[in-house]
A and B are shown apart, each in its own frame.
Chain A
Amino acid sequence: MIFVLLGVSVIVFIVSRGVPSAINPLGQYITPKTRPEDIQQIIKMHGFDQPLPIQYFYWLRDAFQGDWGYSFWAQGLPTNEVFFSRFPYTIELSIASVILTVAIGLPLGIISALKNNKIPDHISRIIALTGYSTPAYWFGFILQLVFFYYFFLWGLPHLPSSLAISPILERAVPQVTSMPVLDGILAGNLNYTLDAIAHLILPAFSLAFISLGYLARIIRASMLEVLRQDYIIMARSKGLTERVVIYRHALKNALIPAVTLTGLFFAGLLGGAMITEYVFSWPGVGRASLMAISQNDTNFIMLYTLITAAIIVVANLIVDIAYLFLDPRIKY
């Protein structure tokens, strides 16, 4: 695990500093407040005068001390500050889209398995596969076009198309968690909460539509396998109703792979859904990283990729451990 993270950091480091087209890292440490006489000291402190492999260790040391440099994309604020001020928005969006994914994907998968190779199976298969054949950027814009613009033109109640909260309400409640929905609930401000939820619907649905297909397909496959097991035949021959057989006996076992998949989805989303956040101007880390890449802000990219990689590695570990509890047959 540590090895993977070190490997990720080496690749990121080489890509952002080692190639000829990389920009001079010194530039990221100079802010308007820097005095000319300090520049030599900055170079010495971060080892920019050393050869590349040595620079890596300087960088690693700085990173462990919490000094990630400055992000010039965000007007020279400390990189980690920029990242963690945006992270709550990404967490909120991830939670919302995982809830939607499960709420739609689970029934789709079950229906698909129960009506195997009949019309409902085909319909659910088309929905699932269309989901993961759809380009995220395109779907986001289409949703905006229909639910914001055309609903507005037709005089219907329309959903907001961008940002996490209306600018007019931005300062209405104290920012405790920086997650708009949670903040609104904590402050007991109904208007704020509803506005935040309205802003959440389109991006969350756009993300969920893309990932629910995978979930539905996995549930279908594992459900089909479980339904053929002897204990299901046993349960049926005991005279249990079909409902009980499916929901109490089969579904529990069929859900095991789905749980792990959902966990990995969540981890992937926490890393920021770059495209969806970009399309909906969501103030999360995914959009921030896209901006950083387009402006060659290497400090931010390094921090961002490392944290994302760490999240994915930890999520894999948690999923492995969760298996032990979910499936008593597995022993390590």
Chain B
Amino acid sequence: MTNKETRTSELQATIADIKYTLHLLRQNPLVVIGSGIAIFFILLALVANLIVNPAVANQFNFSRSYLWNNPIISWGPLARTGGPPAQPLGTDGYGRDLLQMMILAIPLDLRTAFIIVAGAALFGIILGAIASYAGGIIDEAVLRVTDIFFAFPSLVLALVFAALFGRTLDTLTLAVLFVWWPPYVRLIRGQVLAEKEKTYVEALRAMGAGHLRILFRHILPNSIYPLIVQITLDIGGVILTFSALMFLGFSPTPAIPELGNLASDGITHVFDAPWLILFPGLTIVLISLAFNLVGDGLRDVLDPRLRR
């Protein structure tokens, strides 16, 4: 067989594998629901700026603050029933339509989560793969540094980082990224250590393949499966952590439409205007749950011990 033929048959095998995985995933109704919700939110994030004009986030009208105009449900003290529901989810402390603000917040949250997870995964995978492939003192050093980060209470580290370097979206993103990479180092390390003892690596070495080629073309593709699960699960986790930072008062501006910040806006009025904390929080739960459902289903399907 020529080199090219091997490659096409390899490709076919991969495609068949992916098809089989997708088939297994479709068997699980929760994965289907989860991916449906996730896709919905991603699409919503893509068109959010078309649905809602981003400029409304800066239009404050304090005479309309904490207004709930929905005749179907009444919330108690501040509810003003009667009249058509102009703002289906009520207004926030700045007099803005909460539903509009949430739609504007979704792209920000999702984009930040994707950036953080991608950055953390990339950094962790490259560092962990090189260290464990090289072995010896490099491996030991990287492992020790990861141990140190594991021992840290990660939220504290992120908070201190954000407190020191200012409250911009960039530093907050970096702060979460800063504490999010160590698990990837551990995951990829276990995979690479198991993989590099296998005979095909020996064969490749005998054929004279370079170290970088062996590592990035052959070992990494074979050890990526558990990482896909971790990446999917982490998107939910990152959204929670990032919005927690915002909630704890680290938002760059008090009025920025971000789900955690919107919820935080409602704390002082949690008893008068509960919709302010309820709806943004529910949205966070829904997004995070969607990615977790997909990740959890993937774990079942990709785990060779549970397969078949």
Contact = CB atoms under 8 A, between A and B. Distances in A.
A198 B292 CA distance: 33
B153 interface: yes
A7 B148 CA distance: 6
Interface in A213-239: 217, 221, 224-225
B151 A313 contact: yes
Nearest to A220: B300
B30 A122 contact: yes
Interface string A267-293: 010011011001000000000011001
A137 interface: yes
Contacts of A117: 27-28
Contacts of A304: 156
A132 B277 contact: no
A141 interface: yes
A190 interface: no
A319 to B, nearest CB: 13
Contacts of B161: 15
Contact of B285 (A135, A145, A268, A309): A135
A4 B151 contact: yes
A149 interface: yes
B142 interface: no
12 contacts: A8-B152, A21-B165, A22-B164, A129-B289, A129-B293, A130-B285, A133-B284, A141-B281, A145-B271, A221-B306, A275-B155, A293-B163
A132 B292 CA distance: 8
Given A294-B249, A301-B160, A305-B156, A125 B277 contact: no
Interface in A122-157: 122, 125-126, 129-130, 132-139, 141-142, 144-145, 149, 153
A271 B165 CA distance: 24
A108 B213 CA distance: 46
Interface string B141-155: 000110110111101
B152 to A, nearest CB: 6
Residues of A in contact with B, size category: 35 or more
Contacts of A145: 270-271, 274, 277
B296 A133 contact: no
A331 B210 CA distance: 37
A312 B263 contact: no
B163 A133 contact: no
Contact of A142 (B249, B281, B292, B305): B281
B75 to A, nearest CB: 10
B240 interface: yes
Contacts of A224: 306
Contact of A305 (B152, B165, B293): B152
Contact of B296 (A4, A8, A15, A129): A129
A241 B222 CA distance: 43
A330 interface: no
B30 A125 contact: yes
Nearest to A298: B160
Given A4-B144, A130-B289, A135-B240, A141 B277 contact: yes
Interface in B76-103: 76
A139 B293 CA distance: 19
